[in-house]
Each structure stands twice: as structure tokens, then as C-alpha cells.
Structure 1
Amino acid sequence: MSWQRWIKPEVYPLMVPIAGVIGLVATQLVRNISTNPDVRVTKENRAAGILENHSEGEKYAEHRLRKFVRGRTPQIMPSINDYFTRE
């Protein structure tokens, strides 16, 4: 078979992060097309021109992940950092 010639078992571990990145990109594209106030897909919305939708723009910018992270320490592993910086 021709696919065995191109896809070898050594390549399988590389496919996992590549598939993850493709999933993240697809998620971001769907999010931008469906909820971004600056993206107008339909012809009626494009004819509207530049809109002053400050509340809609703020709703898009303040998504759930940003609200979850706000107020937390900017560390990846705070307990390990505390352990090694203790005097």
C-alpha cells in the first residue's frame, strides 16, 4: 500500500500534537466566525458598515477563559515555585 510508504510508525507521536494544534486552530476559527463582532459573513451584515458595538466587542473580548484566569497568580505550577523559593 502507498500509505505505508509515507506514514511510518515513527511519525505517529508527531501526529498527536499536530492534531491538537489543528483542533485549536479550528476552534478559534469557528469562534471568530460565529461570535466576533468585526466579522460579518452575511451580505446584510456587511452592508451595515462600521458599527459602534462597544458592548458586543467587550462581550467577545471578555470570554470565559479570561474571566477564569483573572485574579490568579501568573504561574504554571505555583506549589512547586513556592517550594523552591522558600527560604
Structure 2
Amino acid sequence: MASSAVNRWVRPEVYPLFAAVGVAVGICGFQLVRNVCINPEVRVSKEGRASGVLENFAEGERYAEHSLRKFLRNKRPEIMPSINGFFANPK
């Protein structure tokens, strides 16, 4: 009975589904770890929770303005700029 379940789900047609679910779980896990570890509003320790609301704007700014956001700030929002330029600006 177990082999029929394995034969039903582990087929080449199901690999893209496994990949999509794996990527989604990976993104969720990354965001969870990022928020627990470096988000200034999340306090895991008892001492941090007892401190109440902190007005630490510099730490919040550092969290919100991470290096990827700074890198992409002045870039055009295009996936393939060379192809877009080819079709938008004909010679």
C-alpha cells in the first residue's frame, strides 16, 4: 500500500509542484527567521518583552532600508531591460 502512494506522488509530472511548494516554504522560512532575528519590533526574550515600546528609530530604519532595497532604489523596474529596449526603441 505504501508503494502505491509513492508511485502516485513521486512521478516526473509532480516535480514542478514539489519545486514550487519548496520555494514557497523556503521564502516563508527565510522571512520568519529574518523577522525573529533582526526585526526591532519582535522581542523573543523575557527582558525584551518587559521593556515595553522602544522608540529606537535608527534600528527600525536600518531594518527597513536593507542593502537589497538600497541597491534597487535607482534601478528601472524591468525584468529584461535589453529586450524591452529592443522592442520599445526600434532603430
Task: Assess same fold via TM > 0.5.
Answer: yes
Cα deviation, residue 5, structure 1: 5.1
Q: TM-score, normalised by structure 2?
A: 0.87
Which amino acid is the alignment partner of residue 40 of structure 1? Answer: R
Equivalent in the alignment of 2:34: 31
Match of 2:69 among 63, 66, 69: 66
Q: What CA deviation, in whole Å up to 9, does each residue of 1:33-86 have, x standing for no partner?
A: 000000000000000000101000000001121011111111111111110011
In the TM superposition, structure 1's runs of 4+ consecutive aligned residues that sit over 4 Å from their partners are: none
User: Alignment partner for residue 7 of structure 1, among 9, 14, 23?
Assistant: 9
**Aligned-pair distance for 1:20?**
0.8
Any unmatched runs of 5+ in structure 2?
none
User: For this pair of structures, how many residues does the alignment match?
Assistant: 87
Structure 1 residue identity aligned to 2:16: P
Q: Matched residues in 2 for 1:72 and 1:22: separation? A: 29
SS of aligned partner of 1:59: helix
Q: Does 1:40 align with 2:50?
A: no
CA RMSD of aligned residues (A): 1.4
TM-score, with structure 1 as normaliser: 0.91
- Give, in whole Å, the separation in 2 of the partners of 1:31 and 1:43: 19
Range with greater deviation from structure 2 (40-49 or 2-11): 2-11
| Unaligned ranges ≥5, structure 1 | none
